[in-house]
């Protein structure tokens, strides 16, 4: 009964979607455990690009049960639009299940997120504006509406009217924004509720039953470790727990069900939105990474900030989630850079640390300490075997293993499904 968690080891956008897509070939269940439509997973199948925000990346595999867990937040309108797109590309939605306990992102959450960001001025977090923070805030305040309520639309509508009236007060009085039209929002939600209702289930039970049958369950994280609300670069974080422990809470399984944890590491570092980023590059190497890596957000289209690989960050992520293996993605993007750098430690004030900055220091005060390695000029897109990688590329990946202390199971060398080097089975 293997339970494998796949999560991002950096600030999100590590390429988890394509890794989940690959590993889902050997899974019977893929369960998303946190986040909402702030996430964007791109999967390229037979030349078709599928951009997923809420539906687990396993949806491209026939017969795989795809679960949106209770730890996720569900935006009903965009979920239905995403379901339509998935169906249009010929994938089966019959296997999609949404946890009855997943909280809903409603239009007023989105309006509040945007109003709050505006009011933060220079201290803005740079959220995706999708309503994530306000939806999780309502969950914690015990004021949220959950997916299960969509099944009985009349009682949902009563609860919605009450909640929306309170949010309108906030929008108008606190943020000087226009009030939202409550009845118009409800009319938009009515057909959507009917579409989603057949997919709403006790997903913890479904996952439990699968595990008892000895089936393989893949727990899919969104965003990344450094965006974790508890362990990330607070307050420049998202409002959920991408770390592996979030998989237990966010799907409703015990920790003993998790047998493997795969950390997905981009071969360099990117971040979207505000917040500290010690290895950020604003030179021509940063430009190379943006251009060659197509570093623009799947959800918002924003240009990602790029920098050298930071192994302090990845070691920290490995500690928090107990990685058993790593998947290194986008190694091909580094082709053509004559010298490569890897951050091995920070200098924070007078202190040198290979760990997360000590108490009294923040990431914003840390300077990276780099090690330099030779690069390679060959393009890697056609490489499928470890032995066929240029020796300098092998050495780069080998340094990641040594510096993080975790084996690299997979290396991706391009966006297509088959552009991958498998060194070890991540499931076993």
Site residues (vs ligand IMP, CB under 6 A)? 12-13, 38-40, 125-128, 130, 132-133, 222-223, 227, 236, 238-239, 272-273
Tokens of 245: 């422990």
- Nearest CA among 55, 57, 71 for reference residue 19: 57
Nearer to ligand IMP, 243 or 393 (CB): 243
Considering beta carbons, is residue 2 or 278 the nearer one to ligand IMP? 278
Whichever of 133 and 263 has its CB closer to ligand IMP, that residue is: 133
**How many angstroms from the chain centroid is the CA of residue 246?**
12
Based on CB atoms, which residue is closest to ligand IMP, 54 or 324?
54
| Residue facing ligand IMP at closest CB distance | 273
* Minimum separation from the CB atom of position 405 to ligand IMP (A): 25
The least distance separating ligand IMP from the CB of residue 34, rounded to whole angstroms, comes to 10
SS3 sequence, 53-121? CCCCHHHHCCCCEEEECCCEEECHHHHHHHHHHHHHCCCCCCCEEEECCCEECCHHHHHHHHHHHHHHH
Minimum CB–partner distance for residue 201 and ligand IMP (Å) = 25
Catalytic sites, residue numbers: 13, 41
- Locus of tokens 């992102």: 105
Q: What is the dihedral of CA 336, 342, 348, 352, to 10 degrees?
A: -150
Q: How far is the CB of 400 from ligand IMP (least distance, A)?
A: 21
Angle of helix 153-169 relative to helix 107-120, nearest 10 degrees, comes to 20
- Cβ closer to ligand IMP: 203 or 238? 238
Q: How many residues does the chain have?
A: 428
Element (H, E) at 298: none
* Closest by CA position to 54, among listed 84, 71, 75: 75
The nearest distance, CB 20 to ligand IMP, in angstroms, is 13
């Amino acid at each position: 009964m293997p339970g494998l968690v796949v999560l991002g080891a950096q600030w999100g956008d590590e390429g988890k979607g394509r890794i989940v897509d690959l590993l889902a070939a050997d899974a019977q269940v893929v369960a998303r455990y946190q986040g909402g439509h702030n996430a964007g997973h791109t999967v390229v199948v037979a030349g078709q690009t599928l951009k997923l925000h809420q539906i687990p990346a396993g949806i491209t595999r026939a017969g795989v049960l795809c679960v949106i867990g209770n730890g996720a937040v569900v935006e009903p309108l965009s979920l239905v639009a995403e379901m339509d797109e998935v169906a249009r590309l010929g994938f089966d939605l019959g296997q999609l299940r949404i946890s009855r306990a997943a909280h809903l992102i409603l239009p007023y959450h989105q309006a509040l997120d945007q109003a709050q960001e505006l009011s933060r001025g220079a201290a803005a977090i740079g959220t995706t504006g999708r309503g994530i923070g306000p939806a999780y805030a309502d969950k914690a305040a015990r004021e949220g509406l959950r997916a299960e309520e969509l099944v009985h639309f009349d009682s949902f509508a009563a609860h919605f009217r009450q909640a929306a009236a309170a949010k309108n007060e906030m929008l108008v009085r606190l943020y000087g924004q226009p009030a939202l039209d409550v009845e118009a929002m409800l009319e938009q939600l009515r057909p959507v509720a009917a579409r989603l209702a057949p997919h709403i289930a006790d997903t913890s039970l479904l996952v439990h039953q699968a595990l008892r049958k000895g089936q393989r369950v893949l727990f899919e994280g969104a965003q990344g470790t450094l965006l974790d609300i508890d362990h990330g670069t607070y307050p420049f974080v998202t409002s959920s727990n991408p770390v592996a422990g979030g998989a237990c809470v966010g799907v409703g399984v015990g920790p003993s069900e998790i047998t493997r944890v795969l950390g997905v590491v981009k071969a360099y570092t990117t971040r979207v939105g505000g917040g500290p980023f010690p290895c950020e590059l604003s030179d021509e190497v940063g430009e190379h990474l943006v251009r060659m890596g197509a570093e623009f957000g799947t959800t918002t289209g924003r240009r990602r900030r790029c920098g050298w690989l930071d192994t302090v960050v990845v070691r920290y992520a490995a500690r928090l989630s107990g990685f058993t293996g790593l998947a290194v993605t986008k190694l091909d993007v580094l082709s053509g850079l004559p010298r490569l750098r890897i951050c091995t430690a920070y200098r924070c004030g007078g202190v040198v640390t290979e760990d997360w900055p000590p108490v009294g220091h923040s990431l914003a005060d840390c300077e990276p300490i780099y090690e330099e390695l030779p690069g390679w000029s060959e393009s890697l897109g056609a490489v499928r075997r470890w032995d066929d990688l240029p020796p300098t590329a092998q050495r780069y990946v080998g340094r990641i293993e040594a510096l993080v202390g975790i084996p690299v199971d997979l290396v991706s060398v391009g966006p297509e499904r088959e552009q991958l080097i498998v060194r070890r089975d991540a499931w076993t």
